[in-house]
Amino acid sequence: MRAVKLLCYALVLLLSLPLSAYAPEQAAIDNKDVRNIYIGDIIKLNIAAKGYSEESIKECFSDFEIVDLSEDTDGFLLSLRTLVPGEYTVSVGDKKIVISVLSTLDDIQRDDIFSGAAQVFAAGFFFPGKIISYIMIAVFTILGGIFLLKIVWQRKAKIAEPYQLFLERTGTLLAEHDNYFVDLTRYFKEYIECVYNCRIKGKTSSEIIIELTEMPSLAAMLAEIKQWLGECDRLKFTGLQITNEHKQQHYIKLLELVERIDLQRIDLQKEGASV
């Protein structure tokens, strides 16, 4: 009875052993080792190749991207990959390694037409190009209008009546200002320059009178102009304390003088037109 039990135990032990235990010991590696991978997978190989250098190993696997290569006690540890599907055969010494690289599309076994989902998704936000064009046209139109108005305004100021321009400028002067007579004289010179097309800015009163002597149309008022300029120089350079009333009187004299000069100019223009 005890012998029967021992025999059963032995049978159970034999059945529980893996099948590999019964296989004969493999003396050498097969000449062809096949392994299939997918595009982009990292392949790690332990290559027992004595007498090979890193450069020669790289040359053997030149069809692949070498991710990592390091020396080991038995040879080299190699990590590589490829993005091109197909079957690759690599020879290292007398060994051949066959690597079959598959695409995930090859696993789809389907001959019919792929149909998309019937669900309608909302369109993403986008700014219509036509609206952008209209906005740009409107902006350019507004800027162009402003620029054109500015040009017209400046041109209008240039072609404004010299006498009216003189009145506007002198009318804004304040009697309390220290440069009152300087500004008053400057506006008078600008009026004369504009009407008679001459250059008297920066000249002294004596030089101005010499310049105006050559203008026959001003001969009748040349003495008054000389007197006004001389009085203005005296008030500017003597350092006298001048009241606002005195300044106003001097300003009124200039207004009357310029008014008569302008009326004479208009009369001469009319006479020239009638001739």
On average, the pLDDT of the chain sits at 76
Question: Is residue 134 domain-shared with residue 202, that is, in the same domain?
Answer: no
Does some domain include residue 145? yes
Does some domain include residue 114? no
Question: Is residue 260 domain-shared with residue 167, that is, in the same domain?
Answer: yes
* Domain CATH number, residue 72: 2.60.40
Question: Is residue 263 domain-shared with residue 169, that is, in the same domain?
Answer: yes
**Looking at the predicted structure, is the pLDDT value of residue 187 above 60?**
yes
Considering 159, 180, 201, which residue would you say is the last residue of a domain?
159
Q: How confident is the model at residue 192 (pLDDT cuts 50, 70, 90)?
A: very high
Q: Are 81 and 43 in contact (CB under 8 A)?
A: yes
Residue located via tokens 């008569």: 260
Alpha helices (H) along 89-179? 129-158, 162-171
Percent of the chain at pLDDT exceeding 90? 14
Radius of gyration (C-alpha) of the chain in whole angstroms: 55
Does some domain include residue 173? yes
Question: Is residue 79 domain-shared with residue 155, that is, in the same domain?
Answer: no
**Number of domains observed in the structure of the chain:** 3
Tell me which of 79 and 157 has the higher pLDDT: 79
**Looking at the predicted structure, is the pLDDT value of residue 38 above 50?**
yes
Question: Is residue 189 domain-shared with residue 226, that is, in the same domain?
Answer: yes
Does some domain include residue 53? yes
Domain that holds residue 142: 130-159
- pTM for the predicted model, two decimal places: 0.42
Question: Is residue 145 domain-shared with residue 165, that is, in the same domain?
Answer: no
Q: How confident is the model at residue 188 (pLDDT cuts 50, 70, 90)?
A: very high
Distance CA 51, CA 199 (A): 102
**Looking at the predicted structure, is the pLDDT value of residue 227 above 60?**
yes
Question: Is residue 152 domain-shared with residue 244, that is, in the same domain?
Answer: no
Question: Is residue 153 domain-shared with residue 170, that is, in the same domain?
Answer: no
Residue 258 confidence (pLDDT): 92
Question: Is residue 149 domain-shared with residue 244, that is, in the same domain?
Answer: no
Does some domain include residue 113? no
Distance CA 206, CA 188 (A): 15
Lowest mean pLDDT across 47-56, 59-68, 174-183: 47-56
Does some domain include residue 20? no
Residue located via tokens 């002597």: 213
| Phi, psi dihedrals of residue 236, rounded to the nearest 5° | -80, -40
Residue 123 confidence (pLDDT): 62
**Looking at the predicted structure, is the pLDDT value of residue 271 above 80?**
no
**Looking at the predicted structure, is the pLDDT value of residue 275 above 50?**
no
Mean of pLDDT values over 71-75: 78
Alpha helices (H) along the chain? 2-16, 54-60, 129-158, 162-171, 180-196, 205-213, 222-237, 244-274
Does some domain include residue 14? no
Tell me which of 153 and 260 has the higher pLDDT: 260
Does some domain include residue 244? yes
**Looking at the predicted structure, is the pLDDT value of residue 15 above 60?**
no
Question: Is residue 172 domain-shared with residue 89, that is, in the same domain?
Answer: no
